[in-house]
Amino acid sequence: MKTEKNVQNEMPQEKPKGRPGLDFKILARVFRMLVKSAPVMVPVIVACIIFCSICAVMPAVFQQKVIAIIEEALDNGWTWEYSKSLIIPVVLLLISFYVLNIVSQTAYRLMIATVTQGFLAKTRKEMFEKMQNLPISYFDTHKHGDIMSTYTNDIDTLRELVSQAFPQLLTSGMIVVGVFCIMLYYSIWLALIVVAGVLAMLAVSGKLGGGSAKYFIRAQKSMGKTEGFIQEMMNGQKVVKVFTHEKACVQDFDKINDALYEDNYRAHAYANTLGPIIMNIGNLLYVITATVGGVLLLAKVPNPSIQSLLNGVGLGVLTIDIVIPFLNMTKQFTGNVNQLAQQVNTIAMASAGAKRVFELMDTVPEADDGYVTLVNCEIAADGTITETDKHTGHWAWKHPHQADGTVTYTELKGDVRLTDVDFEYVPGKQVLYDVSVYAEPGQKVAFVGATGAGKTTITNLINRFYDIADGKIRYDGINVNKIKKSDLRRSLGIVLQDTNLFTGSVMDNIRYGKLDATDEECIAAAKLAGADDFITRLPGGYNTELSNNGANLSQGQRQLIAIARCAVADPPVMILDEATSSIDTRTEAIVQRGMDKLMEGRTTFVIAHRLSTVRNSDVIMVLDHGHIIERGNHEKLIAEKGTYYRLYTGAFELE
């Protein structure tokens, strides 16, 4: 009886198409970044590798010299004492080369470790800095686990490329070139035999190595998908267990994991087959070279070589002192060709990994053409605004005018106006239609409507997480496109429906809203939000350490800390996106009192499903499929007995 796994294994596997993904432009970019990260050490490492490669090919030359001396000694009847006087200097010189080789190898390997880790640290830093400047849309369209895989698996392929593949390529390449030159110097006939064998090796490595590289690249992508799925399941464990989807999740994971297994299995099957085949071709080439060399030696066939041409002795004949070193050079030559072939997999994986890294680094950052900035100011009795470096509690928009070079200041009041705004997340799929919102300083504006009506989208446009397709958004009379995004967002306090707490103490998480806030300011903000009571009852109070997004707190407690974080920032404009959605009705009453104090004198945008929380709003706007269908205060909308009335009285459900 066949199991499900066996049936799956018998299904035809998709064949990878095309040639291995060796992108030499990407590899060249990696090397340029490597040189830039260590402009002194990289050239020194290259020089050491070249020297070590020269040392690696020298034994064949010394061996030929020693054998030639012994052969000449036997022919001429030299004594051992005389022969020794010729051999020992050659041997001592060879020992000196070996000692220098050991020193050089030790030095460059230590330097490679330093350069590699420095290069990776700098690359991760550049990636993280770049990630901070990416638009929100990037994270909406890329799985977070896949992004994490870029920081781990893809960066690790660069480590192998820099610390192993690059040095090995240079070393083996230099040895192959050096040995081949020495072969031509001694015997062109034998060198041609080796070339024929190497061509066969290259044909095999191209076939097997190409297949291996294709599957290694696929395995790299499959690993990213696997990590993305695992992270998604970890974040959604409660949902999985509530709906008893454990078995279905395991089945889904098995499909992804089996794909990763298949890619890795085939990649390593090709790679593990390549080495023994090339090694045995090298052994066969050794035997052929020895046989042909012996035949040529016995037949005294003329031996064309660079040596004979340089010495002006004609073609000459093949001698034993050439054949023996030549055999050792054959092993060395084929061994290093094998090493070169083995690096194809590492380079292919690094090429794929580097491509994913560069895709992140080359993503167009969040556009910001703003030049209006937020500054501390002092306001005189006559309304004159003066910029200051001191924290006065008053803020102004500093507006440099490019036309005449003048600078004007506009007091930050919190007047926000959206006029005839259209918006679409995806081209061709509009989500807001001709939306106009007018929020005067200190007003509380509420948005109600079904999920997907466009409530959160409007607040995302105010802080420019996304840019509008048409219309205008003005803040204190200034087009928000002219305001630097960092300054715009500094003037806005946001409490999101999904709370994010960071690893650190409760105090650190509250201070996240204002990094230079004192402990007293953080505690005052917590009291204002109604969070002080439960915080003081925690084991460590405000110093209680939080981890895993505050998993040791209830959802309501986490939301209270998020509200306190917004309170300590003391922004003139606040956006509350379902800020009390995770709080029970008793706690909500406590929070609402704190929120009312927090909203005093501030322009506030409130999104709520609980209509009781928006009754005291100055303006309530009812949205339906991206259109504002009703607007007015609570009493006005109730009197109109329209959609809001039916929602409030329960005539039909909000959803």
Question: Is the pLDDT assigned to residue 315 strictly greater than 70?
Answer: no
Cβ-proximal residues to 326 (8 Å cutoff; 6+ apart), any chain:
60, 183, 186, 187, 190, 289, 293
Residue 590 pLDDT: 66
Secondary structure of residue 333 in the 3-state scheme: helix
pLDDT in tens, 420-454: 999 998 888 889 999 999 999 989 999 998 888 88
Angle between helices 555-569 and 585-599 (to 10 degrees): 10
Question: Is the pLDDT assigned to residue 296 strictly greater than 70?
Answer: yes
Q: Which residue has the higher pLDDT, 230 or 598?
A: 230
- pLDDT confidence band for 290 (50 / 70 / 90): confident
The CA distance from 146 to 135, in Å, is 17
Per domain, the residue ranges of the chain are: 23-362, 373-411, 416-649
Q: Which residue has the higher pLDDT, 54 or 655?
A: 54
Mean per-residue pLDDT over the chain, rounded: 82
The CA distance from 16 to 239, in Å, is 36
* Other Cβ atoms closer than 10 A to 377: 22
Q: What is the DSSP letter of 543?
A: G
Q: Tell me the three-class secondary structure of 425-452, residue by residue.
A: EECCEEEEEEEEEEECCCCEEEEEECCC
Burial class (CB in 10 A: 0-12, 13-18, 19+), 587: buried
The CA distance from 625 to 457, in Å, is 11
Strands 573-577 and 603-607, how do they pair?
parallel
Q: Residue 288's closest CA among 383, 200, 166?
A: 200
Q: Which residue has the higher pLDDT, 103 or 391?
A: 103
Question: Is the pLDDT assigned to residue 43 strictly greater than 50?
Answer: yes
Please compute the mean of the pLDDT values over residues 323-346 and round it to a whole number.
82
Q: Residue 169's closest CA among 355, 350, 347?
A: 347
pLDDT in tens, 148-161: 888 888 898 899 89
pLDDT in tens, 78-92: 777 777 778 888 888
CATH superfamily label, 23-362: ABC transporter type 1, transmembrane domain (1.20.1560.10)
The CA distance from 348 to 559, in Å, is 47
Please compute the mean of the pLDDT values over residues 527-549 and round it to a whole number.
88
Please compute the mean of the pLDDT values over residues 274-286 and round it to a whole number.
79
Query: What are the C-alpha distances in Å from 256 to residues 213, 241, 402, 633, 634?
Result: 20, 21, 56, 53, 52
Global model pTM greater than 0.85 = no
Tokens representing residue 68 in the block: 């030639």
Question: Is the pLDDT assigned to residue 112 strictly greater than 80?
Answer: yes
pLDDT in tens, 568-603: 888 888 888 876 666 667 767 766 776 777 777 789
Percent share of the chain, pLDDT over 90: 20
CATH class of 416-649: alpha beta
- pLDDT confidence band for 229 (50 / 70 / 90): confident
Percent share of the chain, pLDDT over 70: 91
